[in-house]
Chain A
Amino acid sequence: MKEKKKKKILIADDEDNIRFLYKEELEDEGYDVCLASDAEETLAMAREERPDLVTLDIKMPGMDGLELLGILKKENNDVPVILCSAYGSYKQDFRVWSSDAYVVKSADLKELKSTIKEILVSSGK
């Protein structure tokens, strides 16, 4: 298999340890990972680092993930965004529809990883 350029994933989550966990896991999977702890930082990183995919925590202090999703999609509709949340009730919120996927947070990152993989493949990146 030919070595491809590493995909870059931007992780936005206000919890330090969760961010760290995601970073470790996704780096093990062979991704480049950059981190953001709030909405402002996420927007800055997204412009600067041009990630291939963004994971957004919905519940963050200040601007929440759903609002942030809107801005991200407005700026660049091509970057897929996965919403991550501690619970599934946001699935009913219509704003969720503009995201590419919705994953409920779990210590087991299998679902997140496979979702990332699927989206990257289907978006042809």
Chain B
Amino acid sequence: MDAMMQAALWFWFPAIALVVGTGTALSSRSESIKKLSKIIAIIGFILVLLSPVTVPESPSSAAGHLLGSIIGPCALLTTGIYLLAFSGNVEVGKLTSRDRKIGSACTFFGLIWLEGMHWWTWTPMLNGEVNPYWLVFWPTFLLLSTGLSSGAAFSLRYLGHLREKESNFMLVLSSLTFALTVLGMMLDGPNIAAETFRTHFWLAASDIFGLGVGVGLSILVFALVIWIYESSLPPAKTLDAPSQQELSQAASIISDHIGGEQE
């Protein structure tokens, strides 16, 4: 079997199964299809994770390696945030104070783990080099987190009522990711030099901007297709205006049902 076929079999088909399975599991109404989609998505996910072993010569398998490397800290961070949010002041389904401590620990270690991938020796390495997709993921995550946290802070301040404390918390979060990005641009990590990080920061910014324009264009085309179709439809059939007899009949029915003085 040639290299292309092997990559298709061990990476691309599982990746498609993962995306389609997740989409179907989230959108299907049938319980049996949902269950089947979940199984397909899980199998796809495992095969994508195993792709650095099954097709090590394919460059795409670096994505499977990255997924395997970041799944731990990302799961810790997500679980931590969930536990912290639902162990606070919520009316329904409040978690215990023990869950809050676990949530704090998960969030803290998730962040440390992610930071250690840049500032320490935990960087995802493939064949002796930094995984190229880590250099896509990390600057993109920092850049988006800074912007979105700042946006959330100002939304709380301007759209919320008496939410200054929460807004300040989000500003601190935004400043933290901002500072981490600036530090990455100026100081060398053990595996990623500051210049390399700056280059990939620019590439991540270009990526986000390009993706935004591309997605915007496709939405515009989608709206255009629907508008052209809708404007080609014949106008909807409207009913004739009611006759005098119909109006007086309606008036007599209405008068029978209002008032109540006869009772």
- A-B complex is real: no
List chain B positions with a Cβ less than 8 A from chain A.
Answer: none
* Residues in chain A within 8 A of chain B (CB atoms): none
